[in-house]
């Protein structure tokens, strides 16, 4: 009875594994390959643009952000500035980003000399990686994060979890303690046997990496998942604050007042930030509010911090210069640091460049499972349905 039940469970898992694999093979391969391409995006972009990211240090102080932007607009016809990255390094260029235009496109960003607002150039590779990122996150489906691409990629990730769990159960050997059975492919086989060995053994190698990538990737796809992780790992008051519903849209009269109000700038918030941080930061990203409001967000990284997660975050009123909130990385609990590091964990950067390399190789191997899985499915169908019916006994002379 127990053997029959176990056989039934494995049959169900096998069907789930096969169906999910056939349906999700193409989107999984696409998402994984684009993720592999982005693994060393920062290093590639920095290398391609080394010539425009550095300037000759001056004795004179750097321009204030608003003055820099005003001079930039006088010298060149640019769109509405949405963010600017400034550095404490006197030899680092300022990086200016622009808001989307009426057609939904985003103009190329610019590197600018922070001393005289001279345009150094647009970063090479930016448009390419932006397209790869949209393909990875939203499959290039219109609407980007607000469209159907986001829940579709999340559903694909859930399907991968089903395949990983079912694949592990189906491959569980009788001698589970044998490292050779788990980790050594049989390259002496050919055809279906070789496909099966590669699919199962290499799948075992990358299974832990795929689980980490998938469980962290769900953070970017589903609000309910993000809220649950935040509730589980953050302090109760912080979790409750982050899960507050968004503010309702303003009344038309309030919206009209916002539109006619004078555009806010960066200077007051930048002055407050410098007073708070001094020279402890290496770079700071100043972002204007996307909608109505005057609170400007500043993300900064200390000089000894390189990971995306190790940032401090300030919210400062751009009109009054009042510090609204300050969230420092060093003040976070262990769980909150994990929440902050979701992106770095997702791409393996939490383990340094060896981790990024390992995650990139694992992602690049995803097409192997798509190909071997489809080949195994086709060969299984061929075994079940022979190409032609067996011939009966032949009469001599025929």
pLDDT given for residue 394 in this prediction: 47
Residue 10 belongs to a domain: yes
Tokens at residue 159, please? 């399907």
pLDDT given for residue 230 in this prediction: 93
pLDDT given for residue 249 in this prediction: 46
Contact 139, 133 (CB under 8 A): no
pLDDT-derived band at 104, boundaries 50, 70, 90: confident
Query: pLDDT tens digit string along 176-203?
Result: 777 888 889 988 888 999 999 999 999 9
pLDDT-derived band at 260, boundaries 50, 70, 90: very low
Query: pLDDT tens digit string along 44-97?
Result: 999 999 999 999 999 889 999 999 999 999 988 888 999 999 999 999 999 999
Check whether 171 has a pLDDT greater than 60.
Answer: yes
Question: Is the domain of 275 the same as that of 346?
Answer: yes
Calculate the average pLDDT of the chain. Answer: 88
Kind plus residue range of the DSSP H or E element containing 119: strand 119-121
Stretch 254-271: mean pLDDT: 70
Check whether 378 has a pLDDT greater than 70.
Answer: yes
How many other β-carbons are positioned within 10 Å of the β-carbon of residue 213? 24
How many other β-carbons are positioned within 10 Å of the β-carbon of residue 353? 12
Residue 265 belongs to a domain: yes
pLDDT given for residue 178 in this prediction: 79
Number of residues that this document lists for the chain = 398
Q: Calculate what percentage of the chain has a pLDDT beyond 70.
A: 89
Residue 129 belongs to a domain: no
Partner residues linked to 121 by β-bridges? 111
Q: Calculate what percentage of the chain has a pLDDT beyond 90.
A: 69
Q: How far is CA 322 from CA 83, 262, 264, 275, in A?
A: 19, 18, 14, 12
Stretch 194-216: mean pLDDT: 95
Question: Is the domain of 262 the same as that of 320?
Answer: yes
Question: Is the domain of 337 the same as that of 275?
Answer: yes
**For residue 76, which of 92, 98, 57 has the smallest C-alpha distance?**
98
Contact 185, 202 (CB under 8 A): yes
- Residue with more model confidence, 272 or 77: 272
Residue 388's contacts (CB-CB under 8 Å, 6 or more residues apart) are none
Q: For residue 280, give the CATH number of its domain.
A: 3.10.450
Sheet containing 119-121, strands listed edge to edge, beginning at the edge strand earlier in sequence: 119-121, 110-112, 94-98, 81-87, 281-287, 295-302, 311-317, 323-327
Question: Is the domain of 232 the same as that of 341?
Answer: yes
pLDDT given for residue 102 in this prediction: 76
- Residue with more model confidence, 180 or 31: 31
Question: Is the domain of 290 the same as that of 171?
Answer: no
Residue 396 belongs to a domain: no
Number of domains in the chain: 3
Residue 170 belongs to a domain: yes
Give the integer Cα–Cα distance in Å for 214 and 228: 16
Question: Is the domain of 304 the same as that of 238?
Answer: yes
Residue 137 belongs to a domain: no
Question: Is the domain of 324 the same as that of 369?
Answer: no
pLDDT-derived band at 7, boundaries 50, 70, 90: confident
pLDDT given for residue 397 in this prediction: 40
Residue 345 belongs to a domain: yes
Question: Is the domain of 57 the same as that of 194?
Answer: no
Residue 343's contacts (CB-CB under 8 Å, 6 or more residues apart) are 216, 308, 309
pLDDT-derived band at 398, boundaries 50, 70, 90: very low
Check whether 145 has a pLDDT greater than 50.
Answer: yes
Question: Is the domain of 21 the same as that of 150?
Answer: yes
pLDDT given for residue 327 in this prediction: 93
Domain that includes residue 270, residue range: 223-244+257-350
Residue 131 belongs to a domain: no
Question: Is the domain of 214 the same as that of 340?
Answer: no
**pLDDT-wise least confident of 89-93, 135-139, 324-328, 386-390:** 386-390
Question: Is the domain of 63 the same as that of 163?
Answer: no
Give the integer Cα–Cα distance in Å for 263 and 79: 14
Question: Is the domain of 231 the same as that of 297?
Answer: yes
Stretch 289-298: mean pLDDT: 90
């Amino acid at each position: 009875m127990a053997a029959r039940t176990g056989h039934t469970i494995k049959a169900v898992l096998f069907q789930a594994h096969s169906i999910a694999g056939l349906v999700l093979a193409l989107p999984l391969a696409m998402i994984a390959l684009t993720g592999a391409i982005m693994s060393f995006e920062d290093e590639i972009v920095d290398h391609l643009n080394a010539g425009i990211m550095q300037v000759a240090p001056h004795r004179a102080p750097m321009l204030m952000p608003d003055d820099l932007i005003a001079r930039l607009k006088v010298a060149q016809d640019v769109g509405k500035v949405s963010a600017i990255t400034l550095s404490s390094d006197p030899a680092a260029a300022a990086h200016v980003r622009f808001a989307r235009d009426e057609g939904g496109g985003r103009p190329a960003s610019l590197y600018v000399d922070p001393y005289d607002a001279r345009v150094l150039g647009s970063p090479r590779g930016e448009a390419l990686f932006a397209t790869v990122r949209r393909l990875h996150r939203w499959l290039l489906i219109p609407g980007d994060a607000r469209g159907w691409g986001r829940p579709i990629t999340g559903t694909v990730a859930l399907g991968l979890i089903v395949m990983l769990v079912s694949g592990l159960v189906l491959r569980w050997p009788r001698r589970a303690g044998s490292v050779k059975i788990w980790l050594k492919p049989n390259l002496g086989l050919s055809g279906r046997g070789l496909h099966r060995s590669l699919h199962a053994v290499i799948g075992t190698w990358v299974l832990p990496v795929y689980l980490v990538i998938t469980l962290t990737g769900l953070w970017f796809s589903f609000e309910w998942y993000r809220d649950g992780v935040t509730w589980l790992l953050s302090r109760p008051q912080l979790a409750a604050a982050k899960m507050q519903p968004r503010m309702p849209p303003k009344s038309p009269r309030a919206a009209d007042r916002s539109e006619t109000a004078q555009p806010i700038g960066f200077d007051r918030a930048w002055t407050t930030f410098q007073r708070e941080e001094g020279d402890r930061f290496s770079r700071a990203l100043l972002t204007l509010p996307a909608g109505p409001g005057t609170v400007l967000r500043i993300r900064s990284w200390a000089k000894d911090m390189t990971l995306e997660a190790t940032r401090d975050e300030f919210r400062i009123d751009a009109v009054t210069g009042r510090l609204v909130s300050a969230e420092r990385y060093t003040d976070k609990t262990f769980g909150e640091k994990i929440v902050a590091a979701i992106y770095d964990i997702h791409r393996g950067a939490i383990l340094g460049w060896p981790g990024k390399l390992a995650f990139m190789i694992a992602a690049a191997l995803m097409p192997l499972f798509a190909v071997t899985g489809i080949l195994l499915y086709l060969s299984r169908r061929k075994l079940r349905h022979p190409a032609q019916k067996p011939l009966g006994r032949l009469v001599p002379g025929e």
